[in-house]
Chains A and B, each alone.
Chain A
Amino acid sequence: MQTVKMVITGPFSSGKTEFIRTVSEIDVVATERKISSEVEKIKESTTVAMDFGRITVDDDLVLFLFGTPGQKRFDFMWEILSEGMLGFIVMVDSTRPETFREARTILETFKAYAPTPYIVAANKQDSPDAWEVEDVKHALRLDPEVKIMPCVARNKESVKTVLLELLYGILAEMEKN
């Protein structure tokens, strides 16, 4: 049995767990805890170790989706999670510009871990408070060639589109080399 791994990362409360939950065929193995920090108390619980979702491709291939913990004090987990990944997705909460700087830092950190393809998902695009995808792209100071996709993490089609876009990117990268 061959297994491949994709990492879903991003700031606290950007929608990583939701993203994995939407497409995983198993109940997401989430290690969530009640939030202790007042500053980060915009949701009841957060991922402290990792989320873990699974998509069986066929008899001998399985795709694992790993979500990184969102809170900064767990960033020691990031490097462990990034080992051997096929690619990664950076989730950004389009309604919270105060997290854009952190999203960029996370993106740069993961890029340094492994030179694998990646994509940025501008999540919560169904919210009236969401920044437009192009604005998020400029705000994150992404290079023109970096792909950023609109995303609604609880919508299966939207999640599929993001995953497919990353896979097309991985394929294109392979053909280039």
Chain B
Amino acid sequence: MALKGNLRDFTITQLLNLVNLARKTGSLIIEGPTDVAQVTFRDGKLAFARLGQTDSSLATILHLNQKITAGQYRVIKERAGKMTDKELGLLLINAGYLSQEDILGSVQQYFIAIIRQLYTWVDGFFRFQPDLMPPEDKITVRLDLENLIIEGSRQMKEQEQLQEEIPSLDMALKFSERPGTNLRNVSLSVEEWRVVSYINPKNTIRQIAKANKMNDLAIRRVVFSLLQAGLVQLARPEGMPVAPVTSSSSSRPGAAPLPVTNKEEQKSLVNRLISRIRSL
């Protein structure tokens, strides 16, 4: 039966937790904002991950992990372009260039990096396909999910904190009116500068994120750091009506006491109910 939904309702961490607890085998397909990811599991352990059409060949993975040089990478691509990942791996081990640990470690790191990227996806459809496994020629791993789940939970906590600090992306930003703050003397990252360049009471944070192609988490991180540094303040966007303050109804009195009756009588009563329901 279908295990599908939207990341808005069920996060990547929760999905990993579910796969881990249920010891699932199959692939999770996630259609994110810009890409489609496939994450495959065997008996609840991470086996494989792929992101969109990104080149995930072994040669590229080893190059990314600095296990081979750019020159070696080019030679492999030229001479062993038609080799499968498994064949290439064996060749490199037998030739003494790399150990099995080097290769498996690199593949593992590559898959983990994809999962980390998925943590930033807050929206997107997912479905679990029990029958979908990675292509035969791909190298797979058997990685326990616990550490990834813990890492994801930490990130989720960060997201929640950021959500608390910046509850709405429909607010605008304005430069702090603190005297003495001079942006020229502040060391900002490229991302922060990109956000700063759009600060204007007319632009909502959401619009700034869109202009910079940043997801919710990324923009919240940048805005939070700017807020913490005292460089900017949250402001109501120009033309936005003032919303009424609503009160929460979460506080509730304690449990109502159950009517006290004889225990045997209660049991007899429940047994009568059971007989009746059975006879329906």
Contact = CB atoms under 8 A, between A and B. Distances in A.
Same complex: yes
Interface of A: 2, 4, 23, 55-58, 61, 63, 75-76, 79, 82-84, 86, 95, 97-98, 100-101, 109, 112-116, 125, 128-132, 134-135, 138-139, 156, 160, 163-164, 167-168, 170-171, 174-175, 177
A156 B10 contact: no
Contacts of B266: 174
B9 A131 contact: no
A114 B249 contact: no
Nearest to B256: A83
B240 interface: no
A97 B8 CA distance: 10
A84 B6 CA distance: 38
Given A75-B249, A82-B256, A57 B6 contact: no
Interface stretch (B14-22, B31-39, B107-115, B174-182): B14-22
A4 B273 CA distance: 9
A160 B277 contact: yes
B186 interface: no
22 contacts: A4-B269, A4-B273, A23-B277, A57-B273, A57-B275, A58-B272, A61-B272, A75-B249, A79-B252, A95-B2, A97-B6, A97-B9, A98-B9, A112-B255, A113-B256, A125-B1, A131-B3, A134-B22, A160-B278, A164-B277, A167-B273, A174-B270
A135 B20 CA distance: 11
Contacts of B8: 98
Q: Which of B3, B249, B254, B255 has the most CB of A within 10 A?
A: B255
A177 to B, nearest CB: 8
Given A112-B255, A164-B278, A98 B271 contact: no
Contact of A135 (B18, B269, B277): B18
Interface residues of B, number: 36
A78 B254 CA distance: 13
Given A55-B277, A84-B259, A109-B252, 13 more contacts: A2-B269, A4-B273, A56-B276, A84-B256, A97-B10, A98-B5, A114-B255, A129-B4, A131-B2, A135-B3, A135-B22, A138-B18, A174-B267
B241 interface: no
Given A100-B10, A129-B2, A61 B269 contact: yes
B190 interface: no
A100 B9 contact: yes
B2 A128 contact: yes
Contacts of B274: 164, 167-168, 171
Nearest to B128: A135
Contacts of B9: 97-98, 100-101
B105 to A, nearest CB: 30
A-B pairs, 10 with minimum CB distance: A97-B5, A98-B9, A83-B256, A57-B276, A138-B18, A114-B255, A129-B2, A167-B274, A138-B21, A171-B270
Contacts of A113: 252, 255-256
Q: Which of B259, B266, B270 has the most CB of A within 10 A?
A: B270
B3 A132 contact: yes
